[in-house]
Structures are given as structure tokens and as C-alpha cells.
Chain A
Amino acid sequence: MNITNLLICVLCVLPIYTASASEQVIQQRLADYRATGAADFDATRGAALWQQSHVQAKLGKAVSCRSCHSTQLQHTGQHLRTGKLIEPMAPSVNPERFNDSKKIEKWFKRNCKWTWGRECTAQEKGDLLTFLQSQ
């Protein structure tokens, strides 16, 4: 195949690929969690985790995932401390969500530690992602 044709192919496929990127990325995350021993994932359990609040040690206040990501996932959130607006979490209104595995893991690590004082387990991450994806 010559280079020009190859380039054209790549350019045509690109949009299709990005459109379903979040779906594929989430499936990959879930498969990885299963591989580390997690069982089936459940959106209802994910929803409960999302609301679960803990007292944040440095802040001295109860916080949950909703403290920054808004009580409604379709709405814009606001960082609890800096006041910066955070784009909606629901992929149905924000197609930019969950399209990069590294980004997802980075924020799970930071946010679970900050919000709950510990890292989330593979089971919890799978439940949370299943819940978030359904929104």
C-alpha cells in the first residue's frame, strides 16, 4: 500500500475510533479489574459508593465523590477547595469522559485517597465505573 492511501485510511478511521473510545476504555478497565480477582460489577453498588461520605482528615469535614463532581452527574461540578468548575462526569453529556486508562487510574488513586483516606479496590473501581458509564 502506498503512503498517501495509508494516510487517508488513518484519517478516515480516526473519528470512528474516538467516538467509541470511552466504551472501549471502560471495557478494558473492567477486564483488568476482573483479572486481579474482582467479581461481577454492579451499578447500584457503584451509586452507593459514589455517595458514601467520610471525614477528610486535613479538612475536618465529611466529603464524598459528590463534593467536587456535583450531586447530579449531568451537571458541572466545582472543586471543593479551589472553586474551579469541573466538567460533568456523565458520558451521555460529556463525550470527553473516560477515554484514557492512565487518566482514570491517576484520578481514582488521587480521589479515593483524598476522599476516603485509602485507595479503592479493583471491585470498587469496577462498580464505580459501571455506575458512571450508565449515566
Chain B
Amino acid sequence: MNKKHIWGALLLIGSLTLAMTTLSWSDEDERWEHERGEGNRFWHETSNVPMLTNKAYQTECSACHFAYPASFLPERSWLKIMTSLEDHFGENAELDNDTQAVITRYLQNNAADQSPSRFSRSILRSIRTVDTPLRISETGFFKRKHHEIPNRMVVGNAKVRSFSNCLSCHSMAEKGSFDEDAVRIPGFGRWED
């Protein structure tokens, strides 16, 4: 192989990498776009949930439900979930060891304890230190935010079925927004309180 070709290949790889990093920068801007207030953009409290994600997490943990934000449960909860996948809320969600390790690390690094989002702080405050909830929908914060919603709109609603089905009501959840204004309960429309 001659030198010219090696340089050509390097150049190609280089420009591809550059293009990709530029793309992820613009993503980052969008992600923090709704951030409130000024100051250091990464450590200031935010109302948007960081949706920095991980491919393995996205593939494996979004098959049966919405891939919940890592920042909505403390590290100890994720560890308990990740070590009991063979009996996961009555389903078998077992993974091979490598995938399990990758996802566990991702969840640990992005758990509520690590996140600057204001929801994470409220969620942590609403859990007693002796408790390790396995559900976001079990935390005091979640219950407080959702207690006004009657059962007929959730369990009795074929398009929702369960509070675990975040995406059915929070239409922007995949973009990291749980804003009340974006809530549409299927069959009932906008939420006014």
C-alpha cells in the first residue's frame, strides 16, 4: 500500500469524526436550550431532563416501555433493578453479562445523585434514605405530581394502562421534557388543573 492512500483514508476518517462531533455539539445546545437562568450551563439547575443516552440502554430498556431517564432514580435503585432482571416486575428482562455491565455503568453515572436536574433533587428528597424504590412511580415526588389524576384516565384507559407508560401522556418525554403544558392524556386531551 502506498503513502498517498493512507493519507487519503486518514483524511476521510478525520472529516467523518469532525462531522459527527459537530452534530453532537448542536444536539447538546438543543438539550440545554430550555435551561432556566444564567450561570455555568452544565451545573446550573435545569428543568429539562438530560437525555444523554447510551445505545445499549436505549435498545434493551426501551423494548417493553419508555427508556426512563436515569436521573429519575438514585444509584441504589438502579443497582437493585439491574441485579434482579430475571424477575423484573413479573417479566424476564435478563441480559448477557457484558450488556448488563455496560448498562449498569451508564445508569450509575447518570443516576439522580449525579444529575443537576431540579427533578432529580426533588425525587431524591422525596425518598427516605432507608428505602430503595424500584419504581419512579412509587416515589413521593411522583405521587405528589400525579395524585390528582383519576384511575379511569390511567388503569381504566386502554391507551395508557399504567403510570409506567410515561410516554402516553408526556408526549415530549423522549426529548427530555416532562413539562405540564405538553401533557396530553389519550382520550382526555390537555391536562388543566
The answer on a CB contact under 8 Å between B165 and A2 is no
Instruction: Assign chain A's interface to a size class.
Output: 10 to 19
Q: For the complex, is A113 an interface residue (Cβ under 8 Å from B)?
A: yes
Count of interface residues, chain B, beta-carbon cutoff 8 Å: 24
The answer on a CB contact under 8 Å between B9 and A84 is no
Q: Binary interface profile of B, 45-68, with partner A (CB < 8 Å = 1, else 0)?
A: 000000000000000000011100
The answer on a CB contact under 8 Å between B64 and A79 is yes
Instruction: Give B167's nearest chain A residue, CB to CB.
Output: A84
Q: For the complex, is B144 an interface residue (Cβ under 8 Å from A)?
A: no
Q: Binary interface profile of A, 67-98, with partner B (CB < 8 Å = 1, else 0)?
A: 00000000000010111100000000000000
Instruction: Give A102's nearest chain B residue, CB to CB.
Output: B96
Known contacts: A2-B1, A3-B1, A59-B90. The answer to whether A82 contacts B9 by CB under 8 A is no
Known contacts: A2-B1, A58-B90, A113-B92. The answer to whether A84 contacts B8 by CB under 8 A is no
Partner of B91, one of A4, A83, A110: A110
Instruction: Give B6's nearest chain A residue, CB to CB.
Output: A3
Write out the residue numbers on chain A whose beta carbons fall within 8 Å of the beta carbon of B6: 3
Write out the residue numbers on chain A whose beta carbons fall within 8 Å of the beta carbon of B1: 2-3
In whole angstroms, what is the CA distance A59 to B66 when docked?
A: 22
Q: For the complex, is B12 an interface residue (Cβ under 8 Å from A)?
A: yes
